[in-house]
């Protein structure tokens, strides 16, 4: 069995070595332009168009992250090639911590205290410490979204969730299902104080959160995006932050990454920017998961995490 790794930079060797530790009988190579030895499986991120021309006999492509748009948009991707995504592998816990940190920071007005410290001001501020006054709304109830919703429910927050299907239930979470009618999205937004975006980027979610839809959030609300930058229309979000309709945004993902130096997000006083680090794929657990699935596919067994191309996730 031959496996080819197509990951940019120094990480390629780490992925190769870690997967090799689980699949000792496999021949594992790192793809470079001109490498045409036929492989059975590929593991990678953002493969160049030439890759699929050089590797026409692949049985499956494994994405090293939860997102798969980086491979779905490849112009040479074979129509029948299975794409398998990493399912959590420790990323859910990181997402929970990221969202929890931002919500508590806003609840306790920590940014304002930082500013007061810099100015030498001692002035206790009124804070809404009751978690019941901070309903969170999780948009996207997949593997990661479920963990975030469940964690905030356990923390005592009212939790709303918007999902495609009414079957996507979670204890302690009020579900607003798309299948129950389009008005459910409006109801979900109006019931939410902190919007947490955890859905994949698909044709249905592209530009989902624009000026009009974000305005559905109650005045004084907040936005956290740990999914993909293309779900938010930047101009709409900035307009609502400027007007005071929204109090703040914590953004980990952007339409262009790295975020351009001239972008207003860098300097906006209500925006917190992090460089796509809310959930970093843990090499060890993810490699073990991928290796196990390769073993199963090689034995003609079914695996979970295969992407539905019609849904784009």
Q: How far apart are CA 239 and CA 1, in angstroms?
A: 54
User: Three-state DSSP class for 12?
Assistant: helix
DSSP string of 247-284, one letter each residue: EEEEE---SSSSPPTT-GGGT-TTEEE--S-SSPPPHH
- Helix ranges, the chain (H): 11-22, 49-54, 69-72, 91-107, 110-119, 143-154, 183-190, 211-214, 234-243, 283-298
Q: Which of 16, 85, 146, 228 is catalytic?
A: 228
* Bridge partners (DSSP) listed for residue 186: none
Q: Does residue 276 have an active-site annotation?
A: yes
Catalytic residue among 22, 245, 255, 276: 276
CB-CB contact of 55 with 39 (8 Å):
yes
Residue positions annotated with a catalytic role: 228, 276
């Amino acid at each position: 069995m031959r496996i080819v790794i197509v990951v940019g930079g120094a990480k390629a060797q780490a992925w190769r070595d870690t997967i090799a530790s689980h699949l000792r009988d496999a021949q594992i190579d790192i793809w470079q332009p001109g490498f045409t030895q036929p492989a059975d499986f590929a593991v990678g991120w953002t493969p160049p168009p030439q890759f699929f021309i050089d590797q026409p006999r692949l049985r499956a492509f494994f994405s090293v992250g939860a997102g798969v748009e980086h491979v779905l948009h490849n112009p040479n991707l074979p129509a029948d090639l299975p794409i398998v995504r990493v399912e959590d592998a420790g990323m859910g816990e990181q997402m929970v911590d990221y969202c929890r940190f931002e919500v508590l920071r806003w609840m306790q007005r920590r940014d304002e205290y930082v500013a007061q410290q810099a100015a030498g001001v001692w002035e206790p501020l009124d804070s809404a410490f009751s978690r019941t006054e901070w309903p969170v709304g999780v948009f996207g109830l997949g593997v990661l979204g479920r963990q975030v919703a469940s964690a905030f429910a356990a923390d005592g927050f009212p939790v709303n969730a918007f999902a495609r299907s009414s079957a996507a239930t979670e204890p302690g979470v009020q579900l607003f299902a798309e299948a129950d009618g389009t008005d459910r999205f409006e109801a979900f937004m109006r019931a939410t104080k902190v919007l947490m975006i955890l859905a994949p980027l698909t044709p249905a979610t592209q530009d989902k959160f624009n000026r009009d839809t974000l305005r559905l959030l109650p005045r004084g609300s907040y936005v956290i995006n740990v999914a993909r930058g293309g779900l938010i229309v930047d101009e709409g979000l900035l307009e609502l932050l400027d007007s005071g309709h929204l109090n703040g945004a914590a953004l980990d993902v952007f339409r262009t990454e790295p975020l351009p130096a001239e972008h207003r997000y860098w300097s906006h006083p209500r925006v917190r920017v992090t460089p796509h680090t809310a959930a970093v794929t843990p090499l060890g657990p993810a490699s073990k998961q991928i290796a196990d699935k390769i073993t199963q596919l090689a034995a003609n067994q079914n695996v979970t995490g295969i992407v539905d191309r019609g849904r784009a996730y």
